Amino acid sequence: MTTTVPRPAMMPKPHRDRGIEGRMAQWYAGTTAKSMADFRELAQRIARELPQGGSVLEIAPGPGYLCIELAKLGPFAIRGVDLSASMVKIAREKAVQAGVQVDFEQGNSSNLPYPRETFDFLVCRAAFKNFAQPVKALEEMYRVLKPGGAGLVVGPVNRLFTKLAFRWMLLKTAYAREHFEQMLAQTPFARVRIDENEIGLEVRMEKSPAPETAGRD
């Protein structure tokens, strides 16, 4: 029997990347603040994996809550890159209010503004489904990770949105396991693990460590 891959989403998307701006960005920041416990829990999980002074990138951080919570947990070098100018402004303001150092800047997931092998860890929470070029975004994640680094794609996870709109909106745009398997097969990631639960997927990607230099004395 032939297995048909679910088709709730297209790869690539039939639209350009677009950020949340203006009043909608302010509304989104207020709404997602209600999920602060989730941000803290994920930040703690990430912090346990990081080396001392480890570098972290969050792609599409929105209001910056996860980056800010992570910055409270240790002397990490944390950056967030978001397509939305409004979100970058909000995130910067909230980092100042929290008294933490996080560098937020504007940029596109399919063309990240960082050199190769910059980060020990990267995360994308509840935003990957919106990227117009998902495979290119995964390739960029691989490019900017250091050898031995890991990435985590999570979503959708906002419980408020899950209650109100998951059946009617998110299922039409979110990727199923099969879609991630297809996309990740086109990337050089050495190890991939996909975990499913009642409110979404977690996709963990690991880059191979650098090979040891042969012939050392």
* Sequence-distant (≥ 6) Cβ neighbours of residue 112 within 8 angstroms: 57, 59, 81, 140, 141, 143, 144
> Each residue of 95-104: pLDDT tens digit?
999 999 999 9
For range 186-211, the mean pLDDT: 91
Inform me whether the pLDDT recorded for 32 exceeds 70. yes
Per DSSP, the three-state class of 105 is strand
Cα distance between residue 100 and residue 27, in whole Å: 23
Q: What is the pLDDT of residue 176?
A: 85
Cα gap 145→204, rounded to integer Å: 13
Asked whether residue 66 carries a pLDDT value surpassing 60, the answer given is yes
* Model pTM score: 0.86
Q: Can you give the pLDDT at residue 123?
A: 98
Domains of the chain, CATH where assigned: 36-206 (3.40.50.150)
